[in-house]
Amino acid sequence: MTRFHVSNPAMRALLRTARRYAAVDANVLITGETGAGKDALARVLHASGPRRREPFVTIDCPGLPSSLVESELFGHERGAFTDATTARAGRFEAAGRGTVYLDAITGLSTTAQGALLRVVEQRQVARLGGTMTIAVQARMIASAEASITEAVSNGTFRTDLFHRLSVLPLHIPPLREREDEVLMFAGRFLVEISERLQRAAPRLSPAAEDALVRYRWPGNVRELRHVLERALLNGAGDVIDAGDLPLDLLERDEAYLAPAGKARPTLEQVERRYIEITLQYAKGNQTRAAAVLGISRKALWEKRKRFGLE
């Protein structure tokens, strides 16, 4: 997802706000479910502002090795530690006057949160093993799932860091609340994937369109793309029917298709079930399951622990 459709009223309002935020330098916190488009919105903010020609540096917070967090973020001088054979700039230094995007901020350890807080407050870093301080000129954009407020409440995410990062908040609504966009995204993805596969883009049958619109998309836009990619890779016709859609990945559970009049599950129930079935689909392969879910292995491990999926 590299851009947003603006026919949906909620997304139109979101984009108007984002473009206003792009013109100022205050920190932004983007919240939303996995796969909703937080990374894309961060890039929209960067591309819409005065820093558009400067670097956009992404920091995958859950993927940072705990023993190397400060080295990755702040850089190091030669000899700062055993493997530091050459000097290296950290992510904040490399960003220059551009944007530092802190993806999945709740994936940082408590120690790393403290180190980041000092950068946010002091606007400067020092390389490990170095004596000089380097001014941080980059803008900071962070992303997190909406449950970050729970992490703040239960003490796993620092309250002071949360408030300093969420000066300008943006929340992306889940795809199930933007049903009018499902077929728009589906059409775009079919064209993009077909071009990559060097074949003509198939069309969706009315039954396939109905299945896509009715489905609840716990994995949001990212899951929609994966579903269509699998349908294209597994089929060779010029029409995709409902039976060609790999929604069997989620066992076509009526709770997730949510027909009219039936009680709908909570978000936590949907997320737990989606992760459970994705693990079954991946035959227990954590790396593959994390890739399908669009999260890091560490984030998947934390969710498995939270939901009791050991």
Can you tell me the distance from the alpha carbon of 73 to that of 69, in angstroms, rounded to the nearest whole number? 6
Q: Angle at CA 298, nearest 5°, toward 295 and 302? A: 95
Axis-axis angle for helices 9-22, 38-48 (nearest 10): 50
- The SS3 of residue 128 is strand
Can you tell me the distance from the alpha carbon of 141 to that of 28, in angstroms, rounded to the nearest whole number? 5
**CATH number attached to the domain at 176-307:** 1.10.8.60
Burial (CB < 10 A; 0-12, 13-18, 19+), residue 117, is: middle
* Domains 9-171 and 176-307 agree in fold: no
Q: Where are the domains of the chain?
A: 9-171, 176-307
**Beta-carbon contacts of residue 22 (< 8 Å; ≥ 6 apart):** 44, 45, 46, 48, 49
Nearest to 145 by CA among 10, 296, 310, 305: 296
Q: What are phi and psi of 144, to 5 degrees?
A: -165, 160
Which three-class secondary structure string do you get for 104-117? CHHHCCHHHHHHHH
Can you tell me the distance from the alpha carbon of 188 to that of 137, in angstroms, rounded to the nearest whole number? 37
Q: Angle at CA 165, nearest 5°, toward 155 and 218? A: 70
> Contact, 130 vs 77, CB < 8 A?
yes
CATH fold of 9-171 reads Rossmann fold (3.40.50)
pLDDT digit string (tens) for the chain, length 310 residues:
345 555 688 888 999 999 999 999 899 999 999 889 999 999 999 999 999 999 999 999 988 877 778 878 887 777 667 676 777 788 888 999 999 999 999 999 888 899 899 999 999 988 877 778 889 999 999 999 988 999 999 999 999 999 999 999 999 999 989 888 999 999 999 999 999 888 899 999 888 888 898 888 888 998 899 889 888 887 768 898 877 887 654 444 444 545 444 455 666 777 787 787 778 767 778 887 887 777 888 888 888 888 888 7
